[in-house]
Chains A and B, each alone.
Chain A
Amino acid sequence: MIDKTAPAQTPVGRVVATELKPATPHQFHFWTATETSIGIGAIVRVEEPGNGKRETGRVVYGVVTDALAYSDLATPLHDVVGAEGDPVRAAAAPTVRQEIRLWTAAVLRQEPAEPLQPVPLGEVFVATDADVAEALRMDAYLHTAQPTAIPIGLYTSGGLEAPVYLDADFLLGPEAAHLNISGVSGLATKTSAVEFLLSSIFHHFPSHKGRIAAVCFNVKGSDLCFLDQPGVLDDEDRRRYARLGIPAEPFAQVRHYAPFKADGVNLNTLRTHPDLVGDVQPLVWGLQEVLDFAEVLLNRDDIDAKADAFIDFLADRVVGRDFEDGFGGRHRVQSFADLDRLFRSIFDGLELTGRSDMWRTHHIATMRKVRNRLSNISTRCKGLVTDDGPSNDLPWGRFEDRTVYVVDLANVDPLGQDLAFARIVSKLRERLEHHDLGVDAVVVFVDELNKYAPADGPETYVKKMLLDISERGRYLGLVLFGAEQFRSQVHRRVVGNAGTQVFGRMDMDELATPSYQVMTPATKIKLATLPVGELMVRHPHFTQPIFVRFPRPAVLRGRDGVERFPPGTDLPFEDAVVRQLLRLDRSLAPNRIKDLIDGRDPEDVRRALAAVRRKRPDDVLVAFRRELGGRVSPDVPRERQAVPPLNTISEEPY
């Protein structure tokens, strides 16, 4: 891939140094012809003139960060005088003034590195493939016995094109990890860049580092719904894929997960076209799963030690056990419905006996609050959280190599999104810690990171969790790829811990914030006008940010996907149930299923469906009938009180 054949080159410029603009060990200036291919971001090689002893002199690599042009005009007034105040005449002057293109470059690397000295006043050459590899210190991980190079794109300048690689040890751990990408909506190609990079990782993640998977949270429309479908590429894209050694193909293995809609049978995703919906797995959690992460729900507002203690009590002593409520009732709480029955019976008991406001050591107000919170989530996240019945989850322990797990949360209530993040990431972490996830490393892609780890606002559980991954994940193989429009709106330590920083087209106001002070005005202008498909990359091996081009991701864009595969309309309840069961057994007769569920309580049907889905029996219909008949619908009619949203996040439009 790296082109090592180096044709004899002619210099394009010459280093100059004056007392006012000296060459230093980290910066130098050079001039070029007025017509030149050099531009901001170009990588150049400086060669020290030989010392006459046939020893090659010092070689310095630099990246152009600034540029000046001026002529020998002493003062602007003299141009006016010469043209007698008439701009037309100025253009007609018989001679064009001498002018200069003077470039400033930041040193990327010096060879030899020691002793570190000012850049020699030598000839300047356009960098070749091999120079780029050298300049970016990629030789350390590209041409080794066990290379760890992951292509990120092509450095292009003046007709030259060189692949740029990241080091897997610094992108995916353990040396450093995480990637953050920012830039304005639509033009920064953030989501596209991550999709492309994931495909690059899947093809180039070295085998000696083990197995890798990605978990992508789809939080925006249909963005990540069609990663398994081929997208539209042009010849230039395909050429770039070839140059980078990545097949221009969509992901071979994608597993889709989406919660149900409130009806509990239709999937809450835009991937519902009849041809595709078949491989979308429902994501459903029950009381047990939710209680584990009850903290997520509580610390969103007033953190309450008493409520915490009560939740612990429920989780440790009540759920899944036989429990006596103190008023003669016996309970075995396995679902939200069971739990609600317990609450009801306690409140009734307290009221009837008129004893006090305390039950065991818990105040009735605390209990009401916890009940409200839990009922709140089962209401707001109906479809993700089942009120009743078992769950359907990601394949913990059975994660497959080079597989993308897309979790579609685009239409889920913010509270539910938080719960999903918290639970999935915590499970990943726990599994990776015990080496029983099924893969050795997982990339977690969180788009719109500013919503989940905002720079200011309360210390939510999700924020703390993202911070925790970004600080400790690299040892575990838990890698965060985050994207957001404005870096300044994301928690400082979350972006700060990302070993690799990528920038697409940036907003000028954002560039004016202090975190971009180190960039030259020219670099900022370049960032503010960056064309689509071009990125600026910071990586631990690169001394300076580098501009690269990447091809369009070889997957179907979300918005094209919904055109090519228009989402199916929601099915009526029975048809949706039929479809769910047909996925387990294609030979089932739809009418027989409809007969079975006719007149049944939908809750029972949902529960039975979930049970069948979990058990995957040989005879689906028999099992379904058994599950349906096995229970009666709860005799106490449910009357949930929807509590108002708990915090402002829920008001954000999605």
Chain B
Amino acid sequence: MSGRAWADAMRAAGAVPASYVPEGSLGRTDLEEVAGAEAVENAELRVHPADAPGLSPPAASFLDGLQYWKVVFYDGVLPIVHVHVACAVRRRGADRKLRTADHATRDFHLAHLAGLKPAVRRLLDEGGLSVVDLPDGAAAQPGRAQEAARRAVENARVALEKEVGERCAARLGPDEWLVQDGLLSESAVLSGHPRALGVIKSHGAQYFEGPELERALTIPAGHRTSVFRPRGRARHEVYSWYLRLWPWEGNDLLFGLLRIEARAHPDTVARASAISGWLVRERAPLSTPDARWDRLLYPIHDVESYLKALAPRDLLPAPASRLPKTGT
């Protein structure tokens, strides 16, 4: 069935076409929590200078993922959501150019299946995409359905990133590093890999309080904190530290602040300054015009641009207003 015919059939079955991109559907949610940390490198959190020039791996692969979703129908008040998640790895070799090393996407429909009219339900299976069920609790209210969808989408993206990341880690050359945008601790393979890093730009989760928190969030540019072990939500054990790329004074506390995740291993402590020195050098080229350029490494920005360029156009919020459409 062609896309147009399917949409017509859905309409005939009682589903109402929609075009709604929930706000924040393009980004990820921050986890607002205080998790706590365990000292690893120093008994009390301290500030260390990052080595200059630091590590200089001959090759590095950068991984990032992306998620788009959009309500395309309502059956009654139940949203039917089209989801697109994608993940790519771009590898940088001796010529300093980034080339795609891996790329995977998943498109599927999300809905609370039990709540759908039987005809709509049947048609959904014929829509050409796999169909994923939303948990029961999502059926009660559109808002809750949306929240459940958001979580399902994020899980799908994380799963895809994990799959691609692990595939990439298996192929990694002896001196080659893998830098992933976001948590390393989602994957057992990656969190145990000696040359995999997670680079976290959002600081919803906090691990310190009081003077240690102040020290962590006010490190000067080109410096890092002691290595610590984050506690809390992490699925797999990793080591972590904060790193400041750009001076925050005159800007914002979190300006240029990254949190790095790496294997929970004594080598990580030994190499934290060298790794930090390398990442400080990744400040250039700047990833402008992205607003998060102070924390967004250019290669990650590049992977993101790559994914965006290949993403289906119809899942983007319409550039025009949502005024009623005229004509057909």
Contact = CB atoms under 8 A, between A and B. Distances in A.
B286 A95 contact: no
A90 interface: yes
B321 to A, nearest CB: 18
Query: How big is chain B's contact interface, by range?
Result: 10 to 19
B305 A78 contact: no
A74 interface: yes
Given A72-B305, A82-B283, A95 B288 contact: no
B119 to A, nearest CB: 31
Q: Of residues B282, B298, B302, which shows the largest number of chain A Cβ atoms within 10 Å of its Cβ?
A: B298
B284 A90 contact: yes
A78 B281 CA distance: 15
Query: How big is chain A's contact interface, by range?
Result: 10 to 19
B302 A74 contact: no
B286 A82 contact: yes
Interface stretch (B90-98, B193-201, B202-210): B90-98
B98 A95 contact: yes
A79 interface: yes
Interface in A89-108: 89-90, 93-98
A96 B284 CA distance: 9
Given A82-B283, A90-B284, A95 B289 contact: no
Contacts of A82: 283-286
B256 interface: no
B182 interface: no
A74 B298 CA distance: 13
Contacts of A508: none
Interface in B72-95: 92, 95
A95 B95 contact: no
Interface in B296-313: 298-299, 302, 305
B299 A95 contact: yes
A83 interface: yes
A1 interface: no
Contact of A73 (B96, B98, B282, B285): B285
Q: Of residues B92, B288, B289, B302, which shows the largest number of chain A Cβ atoms within 10 Å of its Cβ?
A: B288
Contacts of A75: 288
A16 to B, nearest CB: 12
A81 interface: yes
A500 B95 CA distance: 48
B285 A79 contact: yes
Interface string A63-81: 0000000001111001101
A98 B96 contact: no
Nearest to B95: A96
Contacts of B289: 74
Interface in A28-46: none
A89 B284 contact: yes
Contacts of B298: 95, 97
Nearest to B279: A94
Interface in B211-265: none
B288 A93 contact: no
B285 A97 contact: yes
Interface string B269-298: 000000000000111111011000000001
A622 to B, nearest CB: 90
A73 B286 CA distance: 8
A283 B289 CA distance: 78
Nearest to A90: B284
Contacts of B92: 94-95
Nearest to B246: A81
Given A74-B288, A74-B289, A78-B288, A95 B302 contact: yes
A346 B281 CA distance: 104
Nearest to A93: B284
A209 B282 CA distance: 72
A89 B283 CA distance: 11
A95 B305 contact: no
Contacts of B98: 95-96, 98
Contacts of A79: 285-286
B243 to A, nearest CB: 16
Interface in A355-399: none
B96 A95 contact: yes
A94 B282 contact: yes
A193 to B, nearest CB: 43
Contacts of A90: 284
Interface in A190-218: none
A78 B294 CA distance: 12
B281 A94 contact: yes
A581 B262 CA distance: 106
Interface string B89-117: 00010011110000000000000000000
A78 B285 CA distance: 8
Contact of A96 (B97, B283, B288): B97
Interface in A381-437: none
Nearest to B60: A94
A82 B288 CA distance: 10
Nearest to B57: A94
B305 A98 contact: yes
A78 B92 CA distance: 22
A577 B190 CA distance: 105
25 contacts: A72-B305, A73-B285, A73-B286, A73-B288, A75-B288, A78-B286, A78-B288, A79-B286, A81-B286, A82-B283, A82-B284, A90-B284, A93-B96, A94-B92, A94-B282, A95-B92, A95-B97, A95-B98, A95-B282, A95-B285, A95-B298, A95-B302, A96-B97, A96-B98, A98-B305
Interface of B: 92, 95-98, 281-286, 288-289, 298-299, 302, 305
Given A78-B286, A83-B284, A90-B284, 9 more contacts: A74-B286, A81-B286, A89-B284, A95-B96, A95-B97, A95-B285, A95-B302, A97-B285, A98-B302
Interface of A: 72-75, 78-79, 81-83, 89-90, 93-98
5 residue pairs, one from A and one from B, having the closest CB atoms: A82-B284, A93-B284, A74-B288, A74-B289, A82-B286
